[in-house]
């Protein structure tokens, strides 16, 4: 099936690499360098997982949205490490998440990660055959053509807003007086309003709430059109901070990625022997090493 996406709609290196990996029925990983960087995992030409610092992955979505508590995730993680089973199977077997819901979440996370990479800056793509896959996989995998069409649709929709709240360095702040006492917005907007204090970007808000970065950007763009929030550039935010006693909008753990985005502890999970800023139990470290995370230069974490 041929894609209907115009050739100039998505960065050519990413578009062509996705189509080439699909046509060649590759099983391996496509490494994307840029801002943000990322990895896209293939099995026989279909995308089974995608990861990037620019969008929350399945773990963040499940834990930050309170769908699942950390102890349940850790127990499934340890069991998968000990038995060599799929993490997906452990989550389902323990009744932590249903098969249908997990499949939907995985598909959404894959689409979100590819969108985040395409919406940023893509420098290059490199395909690397690998014998093993990522920790949690989409089965059946997504077709490259579908992902390209879905990514293009998302970029077009965000572009329909005159000033979309979706740029990496833009910070979001609630419009003074827009919220009256007792007013309930619903639809997830109240949480966004509460956290839109001029210190967070749309990416930060997505990670904080366990939501897709595209869905967050779209919701913020609509809220901006409704006069509920404003976006300010990094330079404007710095001026506002200076006028406010010089308090900088530091990220939670005081670190930033190469492209200036706040780096959450979850983003450092690929470092050998660590996850979420703490030491991994030995079984977790073995599982990370088994899947190659944190051991190959140019990784995404």
pLDDT tens-place string over residues 232-242: 875 544 444 44
**How much of the chain, in percent, has pLDDT values that exceed 70?**
69
Computed over every residue of the chain, the mean pLDDT equals 75
235/143 same-domain check: no
Which of 137, 159, 181 marks a domain boundary? 159
75/122 same-domain check: yes
Q: Is residue 254 part of a domain?
A: no
pLDDT score, position 24: 92
85/144 same-domain check: yes
Q: Is residue 216 part of a domain?
A: yes
pLDDT of 166 higher than 70: no
28/149 same-domain check: yes
**Averaged pLDDT for residues 202-220:** 91
pLDDT score, position 197: 85
Q: For position 206, which CATH number holds?
A: 1.10.10.10
Name the nearest CA neighbour of 294 among 90, 115, 39.
39
pLDDT score, position 51: 92
Q: Is residue 152 part of a domain?
A: yes
Provide the pLDDT confidence category of residue 183 given band limits of 50, 70 and 90. Answer: low
30/100 same-domain check: yes
**Averaged pLDDT for residues 160-167:** 70
- On the 0-12 / 13-18 / 19+ scale of CB atoms within 10 A, 12 is exposed
Q: Is residue 238 part of a domain?
A: yes
Output the CA angle 188-192-194, nearest 5 degrees. Answer: 115
**Averaged pLDDT for residues 49-60:** 91
68/105 same-domain check: yes
143/181 same-domain check: no
**Averaged pLDDT for residues 3-27:** 83
Alpha-carbon span 267 to 277, nearest angstrom: 10
- On the 0-12 / 13-18 / 19+ scale of CB atoms within 10 A, 66 is exposed
Q: Is residue 95 part of a domain?
A: yes
129/151 same-domain check: yes
110/82 same-domain check: yes
Cβ neighbours for 275, distance < 8 A, ≥ 6 positions apart: 269, 284, 288
Provide the pLDDT confidence category of residue 11 given band limits of 50, 70 and 90. Answer: confident
pLDDT score, position 179: 65
Quick: pLDDT tens for 112-152. Answer: 999 999 988 899 999 988 756 677 888 888 999 999 999 99
Q: Is residue 69 part of a domain?
A: yes
Between residues 99 and 5, the one the model is more confident about? 99
pLDDT score, position 131: 58
Lowest average pLDDT, out of 27-36, 68-77, 109-118, 271-280, goes to: 271-280
- Number of independent structural domains in the chain: 2
pLDDT score, position 133: 65
Which of 115, 138, 159 marks a domain boundary? 159
Cβ neighbours for 289, distance < 8 A, ≥ 6 positions apart: 272, 295
| Residue 87 lies in domain | 12-159
Which of 108, 130, 159 marks a domain boundary? 159
Alpha-carbon span 57 to 31, nearest angstrom: 16
Provide the pLDDT confidence category of residue 267 given band limits of 50, 70 and 90. Answer: very low
206/89 same-domain check: no
Quick: pLDDT tens for 288-297. Answer: 333 333 333 3
Cα–Cα distances in Å, from 57 out to 51, 108, 113?
A: 7, 10, 8
Lowest average pLDDT, out of 57-66, 126-135, 261-270, goes to: 261-270
Alpha-carbon span 257 to 254, nearest angstrom: 11
pLDDT score, position 180: 67
Q: Is residue 1 part of a domain?
A: no
pLDDT of 245 higher than 90: no
Alpha-carbon span 265 to 269, nearest angstrom: 7
Q: Is residue 5 part of a domain?
A: no
pTM of the predicted protein model: 0.73
């Amino acid at each position: 099936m041929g894609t209907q996406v115009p050739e100039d709609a998505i960065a050519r290196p990413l578009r062509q690499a996705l189509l080439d990996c699909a046509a060649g029925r590759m099983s391996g990983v496509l490494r994307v360098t840029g801002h943000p960087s990322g990895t896209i995992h293939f099995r026989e030409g279909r995308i089974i997982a995608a990861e990037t610092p620019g969008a929350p992955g399945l773990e963040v979505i499940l834990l930050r949205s309170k769908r699942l508590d950390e102890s349940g995730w850790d127990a499934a993680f340890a069991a998968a490490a000990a038995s060599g089973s799929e993490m997906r199977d452990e989550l389902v077997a323990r009744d932590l998440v249903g098969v249908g819901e997990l499949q939907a979440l995985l598909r959404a996370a894959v689409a979100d990660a590819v969108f985040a990479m395409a919406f940023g800056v893509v420098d290059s793509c490199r395909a690397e055959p690998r014998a093993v896959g990522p920790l949690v996989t989409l089965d059946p995998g997504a077709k490259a053509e579908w992902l390209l069409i879905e990514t293009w649709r998302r970029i077009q929709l965000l572009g329909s807003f005159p000033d979309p709240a979706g740029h990496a360095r833009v910070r979001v702040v609630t419009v003074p007086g827009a919220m009256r006492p007792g007013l309930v917005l619903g639809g997830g907007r109240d949480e966004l309003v509460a956290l839109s204090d001029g210190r967070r970007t749309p990416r930060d808000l997505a990670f904080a709430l366990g939501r897709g970065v595209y869905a967050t950007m779209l919701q913020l763009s609509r809220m901006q059109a409704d006069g509920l929030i404003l976006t300010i550039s990094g330079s404007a935010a710095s001026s506002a901070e200076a006028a406010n006693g010089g308090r900088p909008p530091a990220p939670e753990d005081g670190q930033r990625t190469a492209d200036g985005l706040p780096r959450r502890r979850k983003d450092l999970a690929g470092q050998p022997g660590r996850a979420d800023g703490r030491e991994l139990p030995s079984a977790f470290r073995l599982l990370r090493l088994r899947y190659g995370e944190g051991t190959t230069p140019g990784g995404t974490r």
